[in-house]
Amino acid sequence: MSSKEKPTLGGTRIKTRKRNIAAPLDPAAFADAVVQIYLDNAGDLDLLAKSVEASDLNFSRYGDTFFEVVFTGGRTQPGTTKPDEGERHPYSILDCESKREAILPSVIYIQKILRRRPFLIKNLENVMQKLLQSMEFLEENERKKLAIFTALAFSQKLSGLPPETVLQPLLKDNLVAKGLVLSFVTDFFKEYLVDNSLDDLIAILKRGKVEDDLLKFFPSAKRSAEGFSEHFTKEGLIPLVEYNEKKLFDGRLKEMKSALTAQIEEETDISEVIDTVKQRLKDAKLPDIEVVRLLWDVIMDAVQWSGKNQQQNANAALRQVKTWAGLLNTFCTSGKLELELMYKVQMQCYEDTKLMKLFPEIVRSLYDQDVLAEDTILHWFSKGTNPKGRQIFVKALEPFVNWLEEAEEEE
């Protein structure tokens, strides 16, 4: 061979590295195949589940498309719920009657699919989010069907469906402003409470991170405690109204307690503290009894307790009572409220061992500061209804009561 000739590999195939060539995305063909399964089985969901299970369709790639077909009967245009080109079937969730009897079988059908293909839960979330965020493109009865489906999905504990991914999309400003969200959640609440308790509903709302402010579902013009009560009372959801009223009440009490605690710890002038309570009462419309209970709590919470030193604890508590007696006196304006204060003192002394022996001294101090009247103390002693520690406290208070009765006889 000449030195200028290049060697050849005659008869030998040169190997080339194989490349992973991805199959082109074809959601249209996938959707048509799923639609055909629906049509072949005439919408029979039991047969459908078996046919879907037996098929070799690529659900891992076209999961979103699958649920579009389940909900709307075919593919939808990106960003909307409007139908796209391609085959459609008449057995979708949005095409059935807006009754639980018609929609529940679809929930059970989806549950069967998810048990065999749990990875599809993410696709279900995606499609539900898209439908919820596009509610303005749905007709009223279609929105109701979606609300019923959502309620039944949570009621049936549809595999792994997280409430936050369903409820958070509802908070879009434009949907809330149009009243679409309020209508949706009303249907959702009513349907869910057919089979479940209010506590179950609140648990879902907490997981969905919307429980703290249910007024966010209301258009701004109706966003008030009164609007909430009026709307859900009219819809027959009285337990939800009562729950929200208690939640608002507890919130107002908490805010008031926080403000007063700060003032008392800072030893703010008592007149300023009284003004704060009056203003809070005016704004929040809190019952007088709750205010008296709260005032005692914040006064005693500010005491600097001294471990197990009983005498120091007694001195600290009595000093606090004397310091803030004027505050209590301002709002204990009737025998009923004075009696409520005594019950509050009784409960705290019963529950806190370091205060157990201080009950008669605290009562005596409140009497000396004109917070508790003689008649109130005698009524509690003879007719008090709270049984917690009563026998112990009655015996401990007996010498003081005898003194009151003797003084009255002398007069």
- Does residue 12 lie within any of the structural domains? no
Mean pLDDT of 380-408: 89
Q: What is the reported pTM?
A: 0.75
| Region for 267 from its dihedrals, namely left if φ exceeds 0, alpha if ψ lies in -120 to 50, beta otherwise | left
Q: Is the dihedral of CA 135, 139, 145, 147 positive or negative?
A: positive
Are 396 and 346 in a shared domain? yes
Cα 74 from Cα 127, distance rounded (Å): 13
Are 89 and 202 in a shared domain? yes
For residue range 296-349, what is the model confidence (pLDDT) as tens digits?
999 998 888 776 677 888 888 889 999 999 999 999 999 999 999 999 999 999
* Strand partners for 83: 76
Last residue of a domain, one of 211, 228, 261: 211
Are 194 and 290 in a shared domain? no
Q: Cα angle at 92 between 117 and 125, to 5 degrees?
A: 45
Give strand ranges (E) for 276-326.
none
Cα 36 from Cα 21, distance rounded (Å): 28
For residue range 142-197, what is the model confidence (pLDDT) as tens digits?
999 999 999 999 998 877 788 888 888 888 999 999 999 999 999 999 999 999 99
Other Cβ atoms within 10 Å of 312 Cβ, number: 13
List the CATH number of the domain containing 326: 1.25.40.180
Are 195 and 303 in a shared domain? no
For residue range 260-301, what is the model confidence (pLDDT) as tens digits?
999 988 889 999 999 999 988 887 778 889 999 999 999 998
How many structural domains does the chain have?
2
Q: How many helices (H) and strands (E) does the chain have?
A: 20, 0
- Domain range for 277 is 250-410
Q: Which long-range contacts (CB under 8 A, 24 or more apart) does 286-290 make?
A: 286/249, 286/252, 286/253, 286/256, 288/331, 288/333, 288/337, 289/336, 289/337, 289/340, 290/253
- Does residue 8 lie within any of the structural domains? no
Residue 18: pLDDT above 50?
Answer: no
pLDDT number for residue 304: 80
Are 147 and 272 in a shared domain? no
Last residue of a domain, one of 159, 188, 211: 211
Are 126 and 48 in a shared domain? yes
Q: Which position has the higher pLDDT, 17 or 374?
A: 374
